[in-house]
Amino acid sequence: MFLRLSIPDVAIGAGIFGLAGALAPNLCACSLPEIYFPGFAIGIVTYLVAAPLLYRVFRLRPMHFPKCPHCGAPDGPWGIPATTQSKCEQLICGHCGAETTFWYNNPDSSEVGSGSSYVLRWPRPLGIWKRLS
């Protein structure tokens, strides 16, 4: 599995962990050597709550996409979007040229076409996809 890290991904992660690290000493009333574990745990919980909301608001792509269902190219060298809507995006595989639909929110059963499609699962930034068709 390959995680694609872009500048917004790193900025959101660092910002959330930095904020959690700044708040951790006040929340657990401990000092430097003891703060590492609770600070890290607070950072993870804060990331899992806040990052999906930020990704949704700013319509950021997740850090991972599945391999192409047509040619099996790892992590789908997904290129230019064929179409982009609010709930989904159709991407073209840069290796074989096939289109695959990626739903960012659960689609109605009538919305899912006959082509290959995936739906994004929580936590959204990590890019855990479930195959629909």
Residues of the shown chain interacting with Zn ion in the complex, contacts defined by CB under 5 A: 68, 70-71, 73, 93, 95-96
Could you tell me the smallest distance in angstroms from the CB atom of residue 116 to Zn ion? 10
Closest by CA position to 35, among listed 26, 45, 44: 26
In 10 A of CB 37, how many CB atoms?
12
Residue with Cβ nearer Zn ion (74 or 113): 74
Which residues sit opposite 92 in a β-bridge?
99
In 10 A of CB 10, how many CB atoms?
10
Residue with Cβ nearer Zn ion (41 or 96): 96
Residue with Cβ nearer Zn ion (43 or 127): 127
Sheet of strand 88-93, all strands in order from the earlier edge strand to the far edge: 78-84, 88-93, 99-103, 117-121, 128-131
Could you tell me the smallest distance in angstroms from the CB atom of residue 77 to Zn ion? 8
Could you tell me the smallest distance in angstroms from the CB atom of residue 131 to Zn ion? 14
Could you tell me the smallest distance in angstroms from the CB atom of residue 70 to Zn ion? 5
Residue with Cβ nearer Zn ion (94 or 113): 94
Q: How far apart are the C-alpha atoms of 40 and 86, rounded to whole Å?
A: 34
